[in-house]
Amino acid sequence: MKHLAFFASTLALLAVPSYAVALEQNGKAQILVAQKSVNPGKRQQASGASASGQKRIPSSLSSVSGAPDLTPDEKVNVSVYQKCYKAVVNISPLASAEDVYYMGHDESEGRTGIGSGVVINPDGYVVTNNHVVQDAAAVRVTFYDGVSMPARVVGIDPSNDIAVVKLEPKTPRTFSYVEFGDSSKMQVGRRVFAIGDPFGLDHTLTAGIVSSLNRTIKAYQSGRLIKGVIQTDAAINPGNSGGPLLDVQGRLVGLNTAIATSPVLGAALGPTGAQSAGIGFAIPSNTIKSIVPQLIRNGRIIRPEIGIAMVIQKTQGLQVFKLDPAGPAAKAGLQGARVISYEVMPGMVYRGIDPSMADIITGVDNIPVHTADDLLSYIEKKEPNQVVNLSILRGRQNLKIPVKLTVTRTD
């Protein structure tokens, strides 16, 4: 069975061993997140100067510059890279506000970056994966020439594994950026490119094709399903997370997020052994375009809230296990599992959960629901203050209960 691996960490060439978190095992899809690796040696000066005083240029660029007699395919490869590489950055979380102050611009010794990102406008907004920034309030961003600067995390959407950070240079400047493409125009067989920092090898270009469309993967932190995902065979490895998937015009058509790996390969290489098997996944650019404005404006996605905290999948539908007591579903009269307690013997009280009287949701607005994602995906298409009608099985009774949605309080 193929496994999904989400890349939160570049693996530095001289890094100490990392670790991984296995979310699902025993024959189910396993999601691994390679956590931060630390380079014990000094990193490049933040000014981008090398030991000789010259600015560092990615080796991947110097290898193609000035090459004579390029084939048509090579011309496309070079053109895409030269158009976009300056807008692709390395991202590493900062632990605290003090890190931003002390490690902002002039750091010469520090942590190895754990992911990639792409600048999407000249004002310095950067899109990356939520699992790259993790829970950091600020990050350090490193450019192609070694120049580093702090950036503030302005918004996250764990449900789609997307985050937006804002670059904060000491003096105002405009940034090179990558334009959005239209991911709805992607077709199987179309050529695509990935740029990122796999295994700490900065600004590496790989090429491939769109292998399939409309794949579904599970977001690392939220566990929600991300739909409409682009599958590609362009090599994607740890450190590519949050980097761009580009079309032949150098436009952003996806955000590289995960790969499928073999369990045998993963076991052989250890917990940090996830690497490209030719099956990579990218969040489509049209999804990103619809989310980014809200993240910049609100810091989160304002979604409608139904107030159901937990359901259990049953043959008949979704059994309501836990409700938000102040949420719209509870106010509308839905019943969840009951907390029961009774005295087993003097001085000993048993407390437990009795789900026998909990409602079972069989549909919403006359549309059957079989999984939690079925229900949540439908609710998220609605607006706050709209009313949805839940089809409920309560004992042997079939009921219709209208629920007025509110605004989600947390993502």
Residue 277 confidence (pLDDT): 64
- What average pLDDT does range 45-50 have in this prediction? 37
- What average pLDDT does range 201-211 have in this prediction? 88
- What average pLDDT does range 245-258 have in this prediction? 93
pLDDT of 264 above 90: no
Instruction: pLDDT band for 113, please (50, 70, 90 cuts).
Output: very low
pLDDT of 32 above 50: no
pLDDT of 112 above 50: no
| More reliable by pLDDT, 399 or 108 | 399
Residue 243 confidence (pLDDT): 92
Q: Which of 131-145, 212-226, 391-405 has the highest mean pLDDT?
A: 391-405
Instruction: pLDDT band for 57, please (50, 70, 90 cuts).
Output: low
Residue 239 confidence (pLDDT): 82
Residue 82's contacts (CB-CB under 8 Å, 6 or more residues apart) are: 61, 64
Lowest mean pLDDT among 86-95, 101-110, 289-298, 356-365: 101-110
pLDDT of 410 above 80: no
| More reliable by pLDDT, 39 or 394 | 394
How many other CB atoms are found less than 10 A from the CB of residue 34?
24
Domains of the chain, residue spans:
1-301, 304-407
Cβ atoms of 191 and 205 within 8 Å: the answer is: no
Residue 18 confidence (pLDDT): 32
Residue 342 confidence (pLDDT): 74
Residue 8 confidence (pLDDT): 41
Share of residues in the chain with pLDDT > 70 (%): 73
What is the rounded CA–CA span in Å between residue 116 and residue 88? 7
Residue 240 confidence (pLDDT): 85
- What average pLDDT does range 30-39 have in this prediction? 36
Residue 270's contacts (CB-CB under 8 Å, 6 or more residues apart) are: 17
Task: Find how far residue 334's CA is from the centre of its chain.
Answer: 33
- What average pLDDT does range 39-48 have in this prediction? 38
| More reliable by pLDDT, 182 or 63 | 182
Helix (H) or strand (E) run with residue 72 in it: helix 72-84
Helix (H) or strand (E) run with residue 228 in it: strand 225-232
Closest-CA residue to 176 (of 208, 155, 147, 215) = 147
Instruction: pLDDT band for 348, please (50, 70, 90 cuts).
Output: confident
**Choices 2.30.42.10, 3.40.50.2000, 1.10.1660.10, 3.90.400.10: CATH for 304-407:** 2.30.42.10
Do 1-301 and 304-407 agree at the fold level? no
What is the rounded CA–CA span in Å between residue 69 and residue 62? 16
- What average pLDDT does range 341-360 have in this prediction? 82
Which residues have a catalytic role annotated?
Answer: 131, 161, 241
What SS3 class is residue 376? helix
Residue 204 confidence (pLDDT): 87
Closest-CA residue to 85 (of 194, 216, 201) = 194
- What average pLDDT does range 247-267 have in this prediction? 74
Q: What is the mean pLDDT of the chain?
A: 76
The CATH architecture to which 1-301 belongs is: Beta Barrel (2.40)
pLDDT of 101 above 80: no
Residue 4 confidence (pLDDT): 54
- What average pLDDT does range 150-177 have in this prediction? 91
